[in-house]
Amino acid sequence: MTEKLFTPLKVGAIEAKNRIVMAPLTRNRADNDTGEVNDMHVEYYRQRAGAGIIITEATQISPEGKGYLATPGIHSDAQVDAWKKVTDAVHEAGGKIVVQLWHVGRISHVSLQPDGQQPVAPSAIRADVKTFTENGFEPVSEPRALELSELPRVVADYAHATEMARKAGFDGVEVHGANGYLLDQFLKTGSNKREDAYGGSIENRARLLLEVLKAVTEAWDGDHVGLRLSPFSPANGIEDANPQETFDYVVEELNKFGLAYLHMVEGATGGSRELAEGQSLTALREKFDGVYMANNGYDRAMAIETVESGAAELVAFGRPYIANPDLAKRLEKNAPLNEGDHKTYYGGGREGFTDYPFLEEENA
Ligand code: PHB
């Protein structure tokens, strides 16, 4: 019998041919000046079209949303033209692809910002973490707090990026609400000390995310929009006084938007799946009305069991997709997986990007 993991599922408007998702992976190979992807990306994503859904690497919605060297954007016409080649290639190969919409907030460096300006954040609190710049790993810069009057512009940037994503031929967009970037910075108490309508109470801290979802679903529709959250992850120096309470509210509110899916980083991003006492992802999953995509440290057996039991409808794989372009097929055949080379994860050329072997090549 075929396990459910390998069977199709309608995810909002997206017909996924299986329940295996390629998670967003930052690879720092776009043009650093223009934010355009190139022929290498066309090949890289085409190779991975066996996934039910590909989620692109995090992609900035505006110049201000950039926080690392050589990440792509989805705000200029040239970027749209470049992405169009990627979406065409994935579609031709029978795949589906959504773009992850990213604003890094305070996780940035003046050298990556327009005119060397300060990165923006809910509050002027620097995170004690590093980012990757022209000079290698450097501490992030001191941010400035966004003015209340600037927030409608930030929301409009998400809507604009969504329109650009449609033009580029994507099957949908994923709003990046996770991992200590802008929207997560607003949600969580450690980074949001605002005293206006966007800080303090849970309703206020969630306001920007919910306004972004409203704008993005109006620019397209809920059926083409996913959301990624990481309620309990400390990624990028983020902290919340009571994440269960915060996310109980957030997830409840999500049901108003008819989203295609909710993508959960379960535990610490790229790390432990353990939760602290009083924290429950099951409670959040049960509150959400739509398709639930699980992520973080899944292997074949866990993924099969999780989808079979109904604990999730989709499972997203990150690092295994770096070294296994045909991961979905390997999982289905229970074939061995290639190991990735960490030295080529971030930045560089084709090596460690488009040259990992497919099963047939290995067996030839
Ligand atoms: C990273 O570049 O390390 C990175 C980017 C986006 C994420 C998480 C990590 O969501």
* List of domains in the chain: 4-363 (3.20.20.70)
| Distance from the alpha carbon of residue 145 to the mean position of ligand 1, in angstroms | 22
Give 90's pLDDT tier (boundaries 50, 70, 90): very high
| Distance from the alpha carbon of residue 1 to the mean position of ligand 1, in angstroms | 37
Atom 7 of ligand 1, residue of closest alpha carbon: 179
Instruction: Express each pLDDT in 148-184 by its tens digit.
Output: 999 999 999 999 999 999 999 999 999 999 999 999 9
For a ligand 1 pocket test, name from 179, 319, 322 the mutation site with the most ligand atoms within 8 angstroms of its C-beta: 179
Atom 10 of ligand 1, residue of closest alpha carbon: 179
Q: Rounded mean pLDDT of 285-306?
A: 97
pLDDT value at residue 119:
98
CA dihedral 16, 177, 139, 319 (to 10 degrees): -20
Burial degree of 167 (CB within 10 A; 0-12, 13-18, 19+): middle
Instruction: Express each pLDDT in 278-287 by its tens digit.
Output: 999 999 999 9
d(CA 82, CA 270): 29
| Distance from the alpha carbon of residue 2 to the mean position of ligand 1, in angstroms | 34
Instruction: Express each pLDDT in 52-65 by its tens digit.
Output: 999 999 999 999 99
Q: Do 322 and 25 touch, CB atoms closer than 8 A?
A: yes
pLDDT value at residue 363:
67
- Average pLDDT across the chain, whole number: 97
* Ligand 1 atom having least distance to the Cα of 346: 2
Residue 294 confidence (pLDDT) above 80:
yes
Instruction: Express each pLDDT in 191-245 by its tens digit.
Output: 999 999 999 999 999 999 999 999 999 999 999 999 999 999 999 999 999 999 9
| Distance from the alpha carbon of residue 25 to the mean position of ligand 1, in angstroms | 7
Give 246's pLDDT tier (boundaries 50, 70, 90): very high
d(CA 169, CA 14): 13
- Please give the single-letter amino acid code of residue 213: L
Residue 362 confidence (pLDDT) above 80:
no
d(CA 291, CA 263): 9
Residue 360 confidence (pLDDT) above 90:
no
* Ligand 1 atom having least distance to the Cα of 228: 10
Q: Do 56 and 98 touch, CB atoms closer than 8 A?
A: yes
Which residues on adjacent β-strands are paired with residue 315?
20, 294
Instruction: Express each pLDDT in 127-152 by its tens digit.
Output: 999 999 999 999 999 999 999 999 99
d(CA 132, CA 109): 9
Atom 8 of ligand 1, residue of closest alpha carbon: 179
pLDDT value at residue 128:
98
Give 361's pLDDT tier (boundaries 50, 70, 90): confident
How much of the chain, in percent, has pLDDT values that exceed 90? 98
Sort strands 14-16 and 9-11 into parallel, antiparallel or unpaired.
Answer: antiparallel
pLDDT value at residue 364:
62
Atom 2 of ligand 1, residue of closest alpha carbon: 26
pLDDT value at residue 39:
98
For a ligand 1 pocket test, name from 22, 25, 26, 132 the mutation site with the most ligand atoms within 8 angstroms of its C-beta: 26
Taking the mean position of all CA atoms in its chain, how far away is CA 147?
26
* Ligand 1 atom having least distance to the Cα of 179: 10
pLDDT value at residue 26:
98
Atom 4 of ligand 1, residue of closest alpha carbon: 26
pLDDT value at residue 1:
76
pTM: 0.98
Residues involved in catalysis: 181
Burial degree of 282 (CB within 10 A; 0-12, 13-18, 19+): exposed
As for ligand 1, residues whose beta carbon falls within 6 Å of it are 26, 58, 68, 178-179, 269
